[in-house]
Structure 1
């Protein structure tokens, strides 16, 4: 015996009324009733292009045992094997360096946690001292925050120009002892510099002090 009440035909008619064509409403799948057997949700296969595995869900209700069933809602819902669009990710979290092509502008994010107001700049990160920055108004609007500085340091250190790459581990000596190594200015000076060796694979790039390559200025051939 059917639990609650039987309104399958009514539910199918409601789905057909919302569908663009009858063929989009497929076979009956199941029905679920609420605890009081007054509200039922009927599921039918949805044969709609681009909605693989989705179902028509028609909600039908009865005010009381003697009332006629009434359609409350008709929607299309994903099933367990549905083809779903990927979760939306904000552009700022999915943009990649290769996305920045000539003419492409990435809008500034005011609440970017990697930046803080220029007044918070570390003196060692600026070319002028605090008094000159204040008096001449030459501070940048925003500068790296501690979080931004940490993110950059970790990204550089664990990347292709840090100490853990095959190139660095097979180098004769580290970058900080190379004549082509130029320490960067500011608070990251003790950890990073720029390679200035035209024949080195990292020429013009930031490298860690303990990175290295076979083009070290003091490399010698074994006897």
Structure 2
């Protein structure tokens, strides 16, 4: 048996000698192949000792099996208390737990997911502060309170379409404010505006490789759809289906090869008209298989060939 490791008290002799019993319990829990050599024993109390065995599992490097044995007062039998797997000083441990709000990354939100926004989110600021309170008899005050309460309510179960929303009567000031974009409980703060601008400029800005090789910037492109408000001075939306930034917010200094004025498409070449030489006549034989039907080969140009002398048949030659 290996030497026992002691803390503040001396281990009980019978419990410290129960190495085989502790090892058998560890083997029963993890298997023979997962339990290694005995690492030592520690006294946890009066007649309470914990035996440690090396863990041979590749996924638990540096861990140890801890089997605690105990003995009752004036008893000679040692019993098993518990068996656990504990990490050592050089054990491989999982990273510390991180809240979901810090683990969330862009693109993680899927269909049907709800993302609560913290009340003190720096990206937002109150859109309705109550500084300009309407008169007591105004229909805007009570309705706006209901809308603010609905914005600050806790997230409930169910899809967003099933969530209750305060009624907005047509023709009221609240309905007009909603159409103008002024009826929101919170709006984008300057900090949220700047962080969004930095994020967009990093993805589709002048520092990207595409913009460095572009023939011109987006501010002169006909496919750019300008934004409203202060963002109009620096950003727009690309509407070129062949551009890699189609449908994305792009910086005015961004650019790509799909610029509307990048190049003029050349017109297809027009074939040359046919050339007809009217100064020369090429005689053609109507019956090339019959000799004598064609023109004389040695005839001078411009002169008609002399007709060939006909030879009378043999019968006519005898009569003459």
Bin of the TM-score, shorter chain as denominator length: 0.5 to 0.7
Q: Distance in 2 between matches of 1:97 and 1:56?
A: 41
Matched-pair contact (CA < 8 Å) for 2:217–2:255: yes
In structure 2, relative to structure 1, the CA distance for the partners of 1:95 and 1:44 (3 Å cut) is same
Which residue does the alignment assign to 1:145? 189
CA deviations 1:181-220 (Å, max 9, x no partner) are 2221123222211112233222221100110112222324
Moved more, 194-203 or 163-172: 194-203
Q: Distance in 1 between matches of 2:109 and 2:211?
A: 29
Q: Distance in 1 between matches of 2:93 and 2:186?
A: 40
Which residue does the alignment assign to 1:110? 118
Matched-pair contact (CA < 8 Å) for 2:215–2:262: yes
Moved more, 206-215 or 136-145: 136-145
Matched-pair contact (CA < 8 Å) for 1:16–1:25: no
3-state SS, counterpart of residue 29 of structure 2: coil
Q: How many residues align?
A: 196
1:184 aligns with 2:227: yes
3-state SS, counterpart of residue 150 of structure 1: helix
Matched-pair contact (CA < 8 Å) for 1:28–1:45: yes
Q: Distance in 1 between matches of 2:214 and 2:30?
A: 69
Q: Larger relative CO (CA 8 A, sep 6+): 1 or 2?
A: 1
Moved more, 44-53 or 145-154: 44-53
In structure 2, relative to structure 1, the CA distance for the partners of 1:3 and 1:157 (3 Å cut) is closer
Which aligned pairs between 1:1-223 and structure 2 lie closer than 5 A?
A: 5=10, 8-9=16-17, 20=29, 23=32, 25-30=35-40, 43-46=52-55, 51-57=60-66, 76-101=85-110, 103-111=111-119, 112-119=121-128, 135-136=173-174, 138=178, 139-159=183-203, 161-220=204-263
Matched-pair contact (CA < 8 Å) for 2:41–2:52: yes
Q: Distance in 2 between matches of 1:89 and 1:2?
A: 39
Q: Distance in 2 between matches of 1:205 and 1:21?
A: 55
Matched-pair contact (CA < 8 Å) for 2:238–2:246: yes
3-state SS, counterpart of residue 172 of structure 1: coil
Which structure shows the higher strand fraction? 1
**CA drift at 1:11:** 7.6
In structure 2, relative to structure 1, the CA distance for the partners of 1:210 and 1:57 (3 Å cut) is same
Moved more, 83-92 or 203-212: 83-92
Q: Distance in 2 between matches of 1:178 and 1:197?
A: 10
Larger radius of gyration: 2
- Root-mean-square deviation (Å): 4.1
